[in-house]
Amino acid sequence: MLLFGRYFLACTLLVTTATPPLLAGVTEQKNGLIEDVSSVSSRAEVSRAIAAGADYLEHACDADGKFAYRINLRTGKVAYSYNVVRHAGAMYALAMLYRTQGDSRAAAALLLAAAYLRQNYIDLGPHPDQLVVWSAPLPKHSEAKLGATGLGLVVLTAAHEVDPKSMPLEQLQAMGRFLLFLQKEDGSFISKYNVDSGPVLDWESLYYPGEAALGLIAMYEADHSRQWLDAAAKALSYLAKSRAGISTVPPDHWALIATAKLLPYCEKAACPTSRRQLIQHAIQICNSILREQITSPFRSRLDGAFDTDGRTAPAATRLEGLLAALEFLPKEYNELREKIETATAKGIAFLLRAQIKSGPYVGGMPGAEVSADEEASTIRIDYVQHALCAWLRYRELLQKRG
């Protein structure tokens, strides 16, 4: 595993420790927030955070492709436990870094992490034409989660783009067939599969269906087979129909990200629902997220957060979803778009304040901003990943607005 201290102490020379928070003085919406905040200093602040976070993530991936999963900031110890879904999530951020800014170090880390994933977690599924991302390292696998194969398919198709030999197309298709195996006729999914007992019917995950839909869309982009796109449309349609008319829905950011990917292809898919219904579902999620944000906190450190502990991962995931929604929400929803722009600016500023700017773990992201919270003394790889993805999406928005 990488010796973090030696590397990150050197990196402190590259990152200022006294940078003022982005948009610190912006508290009200006025004629579209982005017009007020898209200054050079705002873009520069986000870019510096991205550079520091990218350095952390790329060096957290060791020569075997395994990430330093969880670090105690007080002791410097790396946790022995590992989570393969979050391994895939870290790869997702590396793929985004490579695609948006051509980061060659991100591409190299992505390929290393892909090799580690293949060698240690991927094996045959319930049928011989399927491949599965199992929850435990081989050969002791007994359980598979939908989200692991779904997100695994997203990131391994990205690795395939960098180097086709990293994951052959026929193996990607075998992973896609496992997702189809877990999908029900109504578009919903079985979230977990057990080797001994088969499909687990009494357990569901909020985020796995969106991750699976995103994986299926990635598979369609890889081989252009209609079956993947149809299955993704069916999955998002089920979520939209099952939540229709509900005032408060879960903060399903993966569903928003998958919807942003699906809609450009929607005319080609056998959508069992209309484009309007998918957009209405996204509006429900966005409004539910917006109601959660803290905008008048007693402590300014929490301004822009989404809970009183100032947890960074929930804030970042919600921002990822809101920023994805801005990619497809029609202009007729201008009021909602303005609210989202205001909320994302505050949320991005919150994450920038939380990022570690000095010391041996510069560029890392603690689990919470409130020091009394146990997670405030912990960096986990997904905390860094989600913040990076939120910043990358936000910077893209600023660039589009000029």
| All residues at 6 or more sequence positions from 282 whose CB lies less than 8 Å from its CB, including other chains | 255, 256, 259, 325, 328, 329
User: At 393, which helix (H) or strand (E)?
Assistant: helix 381-401
Q: Is the dihedral of CA 145, 134, 83, 103 positive or negative?
A: negative
| All residues at 6 or more sequence positions from 177 whose CB lies less than 8 Å from its CB, including other chains | 125, 127, 129, 130
- What one-letter code names the amino acid at 36? D
The C-alpha angle with vertex 397 and arms to 395 and 402, in degrees rounded to 5, equals 95
Domains of the chain: 37-401 (1.50.10.10)
Angle between helices 381-401 and 312-326 (to 10 degrees): 30
CA dist 182 to 139, 172, 185, 199, Å?
22, 16, 10, 8
Task: Provide the token pair at 13.
Answer: 């020379």
Beta partners for residue 198, in sequence order:
194
Cβ atoms of 367 and 312 within 8 Å: the answer is yes
Smallest CA-to-CA distance from 280 within 313, 237, 318 is with 237
Q: Tens digit of pLDDT per residue, the chain (402 long)?
A: 443 443 333 333 233 322 223 333 333 333 333 333 333 337 899 999 999 999 999 999 999 999 999 999 999 999 989 999 999 999 999 999 999 999 999 999 999 999 999 999 999 999 999 999 999 999 888 899 999 999 999 999 999 999 999 999 999 999 999 999 999 999 999 999 999 999 999 999 999 999 999 999 999 999 999 999 999 999 999 999 999 999 899 999 999 999 999 999 987 767 777 899 999 999 999 999 999 999 876 778 899 999 999 999 999 999 999 999 999 999 999 999 999 999 999 999 999 999 999 999 999 999 998 877 788 999 999 999 999 999 999 999 998 887
- CA 232 to chain CA centroid, Å, is 18
Overall pTM > 0.75: yes
Look-up of token digits 């293949």 = 118
User: At 124, which helix (H) or strand (E)?
Assistant: strand 122-124
131-133 and 122-124 strand pairing: antiparallel
Task: Provide the token pair at 117.
Answer: 């994933």
- Tell me what pLDDT residue 23 has: 36
- Tell me what pLDDT residue 360 has: 93
